[in-house]
Amino acid sequence: MSVLQDRGRAWIELDAEALRKNLAWFQQRTPAKQLIPVLKANAYGIGAREILHILKETDVHMIACACTEEAVSFRTWGWTGDILILGATFEKDMPLLEAYHLTQTLLDASYAAKLAHSGVSCHVHIAVDTGMHRIGFDAVDLDAIQQVYAYENLCVSGMFTHLCTSDAKEHASFTHTQISRMHALITRMKQAGMDPGMVHISATYGLLNYPSIEEDAARLGIGLFGVLNNETDSQHYRNALTPVCSLYARIASVRSLHKGEYAGYAMAYRAEKEQTIAAISIGYGDGVPRDFSMHGAYVLVHGRKAPLIGRICTDQALVDISGIDAQAGDIVTLIGKDGRQEITIGMWAAWEDTITIDVLTRLTPRLKRCIISDRTADL
């Protein structure tokens, strides 16, 4: 657990060395591919500004995000490399693409026409629909793709698809179909004299399960942070990947709860025996699910498990610290290690019956993000 005592009421710690090691592991796994870290949704809730600070000291050349607002923020925070926007930039914001030197994804033919007719000059990556049916040009519609090359203000510098089931090996045949469709399109394009630019097909699970995919680059999302979709997958790669994110709060108040008394909103918790409980300074306003206590969730206090009880409040939560010598101001671990115990993001996901990305993206901006290099000091 962190030995720092000046973090305030609740905070996230980011292990810079862990992130660099994770990046290096994926790069060693596929040395011929350029890795494109995806920092959408505030770097999956972990903290995009802080992650950018770390990535500036690596050999990463391109990052990706979901929308124009994120991309502009990255520029204002000092990122000078390429930025790929994976989602739509709508007409009123299209001038920002040129002003901030951003690369825009072409979602389909009609979107490409709108961007071309806006007069904005920018680099673009062509999205290809190989079976997910979310965005992208049809993988067999060569004529529509060829039209993009006729737009003088759009410079095609890349092309990509998304493997929608690369995390599920039982659906490997569908994934191979997607890959084959993409490669067939690229072959036809080259035969027709079109340069697809940087081709990227894989994301994190593609890199893990299909490392031999022929491509120039891969989008590295949740895996960069040492986390995979669920606890089972995360534990499988635990020797290779290290979690980057830990979450802490403080005890605000300690009191006795007598048998038969209620704690928290709506009388949702009733003491069956004499207990000592603590209010901790974090709640669903920070991203802790409101019903967490109903699913067996707990925190760590001085290396011991302390169950969450009652409804989580906006800014506070209650925990049972019976038998634990704790007082106001003590640090509580919600994600991370404390002594021999550990709570992982995968455990949070299991408690909520969801995936880790859903858990992480709920972590709100009011949680202070702190970059650490050796678990004891700021960079």
Catalytic positions: 40, 265
Query: 341 with 306: CB under 8 angstroms?
Result: no
Query: 86 with 111: CB under 8 angstroms?
Result: no
Query: 293 with 326: CB under 8 angstroms?
Result: no
The token pair that represents 285 in the structure block: 């306003």
Residues 146, 151: Cα–Cα separation, whole Å = 10
Polymer length of the chain: 379
What is residue 38's DSSP assignment? B
Tell me the Ramachandran region of residue 131: left when phi exceeds 0, alpha when psi lies from -120 to 50, beta otherwise: left
Residues 345, 351: Cα–Cα separation, whole Å = 10
Neighbour-count burial of 368, counting CB atoms closer than 10 A to its CB (0-12 exposed, 13-18 middle, 19+ buried): middle
**CA-based nearest residue to 372, from 243, 257, 282, 266:** 243
Residues 26, 304: Cα–Cα separation, whole Å = 34
The token pair that represents 161 in the structure block: 């698809």
